Amino acid sequence: MTEAPFRIDVLIDEFLNFMTIEKGASLNTIDGYSRDLSRYATFMAERGIFEIGQIATDDAVACLSSLHKEGLAPNSTNRTLAALRGFYKYLLREKKVDRSPLSHIELARVWSRLPDVLSLKEMESLLAQPGRETPADFRDAAMLELMYATGIRVSELIGLNLNSINWHVGYLIACGKGEKERIVPIGREACEKVKKYLETARPLILKGGRSDRLFLNRFGKGLSRQGFWKIVKGYAERAGLGKKVHPHTFRHSFASHLLEGGADLRSVQIMLGHADISTTQIYTHITRERLKEVHRLYHPRG
């Protein structure tokens, strides 16, 4: 088949419309795809390439390499590659191209680095940081404990409402990527701290107002991603952990600690909400790294 002179920018708009209308992708997903694909189109335009059929594998590799050299985080590079693969899958289906220049590219795997995790001792130190004096203390303790107990994303945490937790059975319903819901067990410690927050602190934060959101800021409104990140950063500094800790660190540590404790990969995949088990398998690498570290520290000839 001879490829028609389809303009890259026009096809990107068509793809984003397809993802929005037919696939029902979330606003966050569309925004991310739009940024990544616009960056791709800009890079090609700077090379004098404006039509999709003119892009060769070398061009795609050069684009991804430039992002890596510019210091784009490995996770962001992976996300860009995922967006491009989705884009070309759509183009192949619509017969706008007869090949994908990405078919043999595995750069995401080459550039990805193991996510940062906390040891059990470090996590216990972090969870112990919130006090027991102010409403914010009880809220923070509940949020940190819940993040570690469930491995949910920060967007899922701040999106929880009062009906998201089933207290009788002991699980919560998280709304993940693509608005997909999943059930995740909570655990005794997290249940106790969230209940304590609901009974003693949340009414004081709400100050007679009304909100369906579970976790609130000091104005009685739903907490933001940035607000939670600042909370995590403050407690990590107070704990003196000596490493960067961000909201996703709880998710990484949750998965790593479960696998180290003997959990099977499939169960961890379900709790994390990963569509593909290969995404979850990165945590088996973490576990192997941890085993090597233990061997190095404690074996007489390590």
Catalytic residues: 153, 177, 248, 251, 274, 283
Rounded CA gap, 115 and 253, in Å? 9
Residue labelled with tokens 């609901």 = 198
Contact 114, 166 (CB under 8 A): no
Rg over alpha carbons for the chain, rounded to the nearest Å, is: 22
Task: Say how many C-beta atoms besides its own lie within 10 A of residue 143's C-beta.
Answer: 27
Which residues, listed in sequence order, are joined to residue 185 by a DSSP beta bridge?
Answer: 171
Q: For the purposes of burial, counting CB atoms within 10 Å of the CB of 278, is it exposed (0-12), middle (13-18) or buried (19 or more)? A: exposed
Give Cα separations from 244 to 82, 126, 224, 232, 237 (angstroms): 26, 12, 20, 10, 9
Rounded CA gap, 253 and 110, in Å? 22
Which residues, listed in sequence order, are joined to residue 184 by a DSSP beta bridge?
Answer: 172
Q: Which long-range contacts (CB under 8 A, 24 or more apart) does 241-247 make?
A: 241/118, 241/122, 241/125, 241/126, 243/116, 243/118, 244/116, 245/116, 245/118, 245/126, 247/147, 247/153, 247/154, 247/157
For 47, the token pair is 């090379």
